[in-house]
Amino acid sequence: VLSAMRLGACDFIAKPFQIDDLMKVIERVIYANKKKEHIKELEKTEGHDKEIEKDKKMIGLMQASSVNKKTGT
């Protein structure tokens, strides 16, 4: 089991197994993979946001936008 986990297995199914048990394991794996993908997307977005914040023109636009939000214009 440990060697399988090192190779990327995230769960195991003991034999004999019930179909319900198999479905629960599959659902957990799908959920875990979706979470990993979501985290990767958030990390990409965060990195992109930081790059935008460094750009002087974008800084000016963001400052003007925050002023507009405060004044309502």
Q: Which long-range contacts (CB under 8 A, 24 or more apart) does 60-64 make?
A: none
Mean predicted confidence (pLDDT) in 38-58? 71
Q: Are 59 and 53 in contact (CB under 8 A)?
A: yes
Q: What is the pLDDT of residues 1-46, one digit of tens each?
A: 678 878 888 777 888 989 999 999 899 889 988 998 888 887 777 6
The residue assigned the tokens 């399988």 is: 4
Alpha carbons 16 and 20: distance in angstroms, whole number: 12
Residue 71 has pLDDT above 80, yes or no: no
Asked whether the whole model's pTM tops 0.75, one would answer no
The residue assigned the tokens 């925050």 is: 66
